[in-house]
Amino acid sequence: MESGESKQVGYDPKSPIFESRYCFATRFIQNFLNGELKDKKFFDVGIGEGQLLEKLASFGAVPYGVDSSRRNSELLKQKEIPHYFGTIESYDADASVKKPYYDFATILFVLQNSQSATEMLRATYNLLREDGYLFIQMGSRIMVPFKKPMGTYFAKGSQDLQPYHFSIATLHNMLAKCGFKIVHTNNYWDDDLMFIIAQKQPENQMVKPILEDYMAVLEWFERWHAETLKMNEYIKFPQTIKYSFYEKHSFYDSIKI
C-alpha cells in the first residue's frame, strides 16, 4: 500500500479489531461488577455470532439474547447459545415466551444502527430487574477530540444503516427518557470507543437532563470541517479528498458557514 493511503476494513467479527472489542467489553463489565459474573443473567441485544456471550459465559454468567439475522440464528443454534430469533421489540412483546428479569443487558454497536433507539431502550428497560444494568459500547460519538477526517466518519450510503451519532449529553438524555441513569463510563473522550453503564431507575423517578448548547455543537462541526480540509493537505484519504460534512448534508444548506 502506498505511503499516506488508508485501507477500509469491512466488518468481520473474527478479526483482531472486533475480537478486541469483545475482550474490552468483558473486562469493563468484570471490573464494574468486581468480577462477580457467576449466575448473573445477561441479555445481549444483537448477538451476532455470539462472541460476547461466550466470553461472559466462560466466567459463569447465564447468557441469552436476540438477533434478527437468520444466518446468525442458525450459527447460534450450532454453538448452543440460547437466543430468540427476532428483534428485542418483538421479543419483549411476545407473550408466548416466558422471560426472566435479567441482571445485565448489553448493546454493542447496535444502538446507533437501530431503526428506533428509544424503542430498543424501552424494550430493554422492560426486561431488566428493578436495579439492573445496561452496558452500551459504540464508536459513533461527537463532541470529542477529532480522530478521523469527516469524510471517513459519515457514510455516504443510506442513513438508516447508521443514523445516530451521539454526544454524551444526547446519549444521557435519551437514556433518561427511557428510564436509565448513567453510572459509569470509560474515558470516551480519549479512547476510540465509548463505554457506558446505566442503571434502571424506578418508573416515577426523573433523571435530570443535560442541556447542550446547539451553537457549541455547530461550532464543533465547523472546527472539524476546517481540520479535515487541513488534514487532506498532508494525508490523501481515498474517495474523501474533497468530501466534507457540509457538502453532503442538505440540512446545513441554509446555514451560512
CA distance 64 to 106: 10
What is the structure's pLDDT at 139?
85
Strand partners, 102: 128
What does pTM read for this prediction? 0.84
CA distance 238 to 224: 18
What is the structure's pLDDT at 236?
63
What is the structure's pLDDT at 99?
92
Q: Which three cell numbers stand for residue 87?
A: 428483534
Q: Domain 16-214: which topology?
A: Rossmann fold (3.40.50)
For the chain, give every domain's residue range. Answer: 16-214
Give the pLDDT of the chain (257 residues) as one tens digit per residue: 333 333 444 567 677 777 888 999 999 999 999 999 999 999 999 999 999 999 999 999 999 999 999 999 999 999 999 999 999 999 999 999 999 999 999 999 999 888 889 999 999 999 999 999 999 999 878 899 988 888 777 766 665 556 678 999 999 999 999 999 999 999 998 888 999 999 999 998 989 999 889 999 999 999 998 988 887 777 665 554 444 444 544 433 444 43
Which segments of 49-147 does DSSP mark as H helices, in order? Answer: 51-57, 70-79, 88-93, 117-127
- Distance separating the N- and C-terminal Cα atoms of the chain: 36
Which residues are CB-contacts of 22 (< 8 A; sequence separation ≥ 6)? 51, 52, 55, 108
Whether the Cβ atoms of residue 141 and residue 166 lie closer than 8 Å to each other: yes
SS3 254: coil
CA distance 67 to 59: 22
What is the structure's pLDDT at 250?
42
